[in-house]
Amino acid sequence: MADGLFSGLESFGFSGLGDVDLFAEEKKKQEAPQEAKVEKPVISEKDFLLDKTAECPVCDSRFKYRAVKASGAKLLGTDNDLRPRHEGIDVTKYDVIMCPMCGYTALSRYFPGILNLQKQKVREKISMNFKTRPGAPETYTYDEALENYKMALLNAVVKGAKASEKAYICLKMSWLYRGKAEEITEADPEYKNIKAMETECTQNAYNGFTSAVASEDFPMCGMDESTINYLIANLAFMTGHLDVSSKMISTILASAAASPRIKDKTRDLKEEIVKQLKHK
């Protein structure tokens, strides 16, 4: 039999190579049973959560609430209005603490800080009518989270909270409505209503922060003056107040105190405004 590819090697003492299979070893590897692939464990929202204990400053009850672990999900980035986006969880859903006994509810940063006069108002206007939600869920849906935020906003109004606190609640509610809208398609009958609620919350956040900067000191809601100014500029842009947004942008870019990060985000916002004006 001719040696095919190996013909001519007889002079080297090699003959009878016509039956050599060039890829015999590779075929064996392909035919060999493959090692089972190690699948990555599926991480669910509850894996980022834990139970914490709080003491209600209004009724002195101790209770557990769901909170995001300190070493929680990876931050992927932020939206223009500073909404954080994390891998595997929307952390905004878990930033409200509600006492299941008396109904006192607030964002986590404000929960302990309530004055005696405010406590009395909460007891009279909230606790007297409050009905606890049966069964604490392992994770919150957007609707459940929004119920918590609405209770926080009602408490804020009742206790006479600062404009910044009410504005911050509205801002975070707008983030939740956005997250809820992202779970469905624009063809869904609820989509327009959800986006309308997002817009309403954004407008209230803009009104509240605009009022707050005229009467409150910084830092505000944990943010410095430049960050708040950027936030207002963005909220103004989102709600159609382009003149206000442009003025705030000029203030930030001229500020020596504004961080490079805030100035970069502000320049991006400026480009967005220019684009919108060109298309008008």
| 55-65 residue pLDDT tens | 999 999 999 99
Three-state secondary structure call for residue 1? coil
CA distance 46 to 33: 37
Closest Cα to residue 163, out of 213, 122, 203? 213
- Predicted confidence at residue 32, as pLDDT, reads 62
Report the amino acid identity of residue 134. Answer: P
* 251 CB burial (10 A radius; 0-12, 13-18, 19+): middle
The structure tokens listed for 26 are 């590779």
pLDDT digits (tens, 9 = 90+) for 165-175: 999 999 999 99
pLDDT digits (tens, 9 = 90+) for 182-214: 999 999 999 999 999 999 999 999 999 999 999
User: Where do the structural domains in the chain lie, given as residue ranges?
Assistant: 45-216, 223-280
- Predicted confidence at residue 157, as pLDDT, reads 97
For the whole model, what pTM was predicted?
Answer: 0.84
Three-state secondary structure call for residue 97? strand
CA distance 181 to 185: 7
CA distance 225 to 240: 22
- Predicted confidence at residue 5, as pLDDT, reads 60
Q: Does the structure show a pLDDT above 60 at 164? A: yes
Continuous segment of H or E residues that includes residue 117: helix 116-122
- Predicted confidence at residue 233, as pLDDT, reads 97
CA distance 34 to 224: 57
- Between the alpha carbon of residue 162 and those of residues 34, 109, 118, 221, the distances in Å are 64, 14, 12, 10
Distance of CA 155 to the CA centre of its chain: 23
pLDDT digits (tens, 9 = 90+) for 52-100: 999 999 999 999 999 999 887 899 999 999 999 999 999 999 999 999 9
- Predicted confidence at residue 8, as pLDDT, reads 55
Q: Under a CB-based contact definition with an 8 Å cutoff, are residues 151 and 98 in contact?
A: yes
- Between the alpha carbon of residue 30 and those of residues 20, 24, 39, 75, 217, the distances in Å are 18, 10, 21, 41, 70
pLDDT band at 279 (very low <50, low <70, confident <90, very high): confident
Continuous segment of H or E residues that includes residue 107: strand 105-107
User: Cα Rg for the chain, rounded, in angstroms?
Assistant: 30
Which residues, in sequence order, are bridge partners of residue 67? 50
Helix 225-238 to helix 242-253 angle (10° resolution) is 150
Higher pLDDT, 1 or 4: 4
- Predicted confidence at residue 193, as pLDDT, reads 98
pLDDT digits (tens, 9 = 90+) for 15-40: 666 676 666 666 666 666 666 566 66
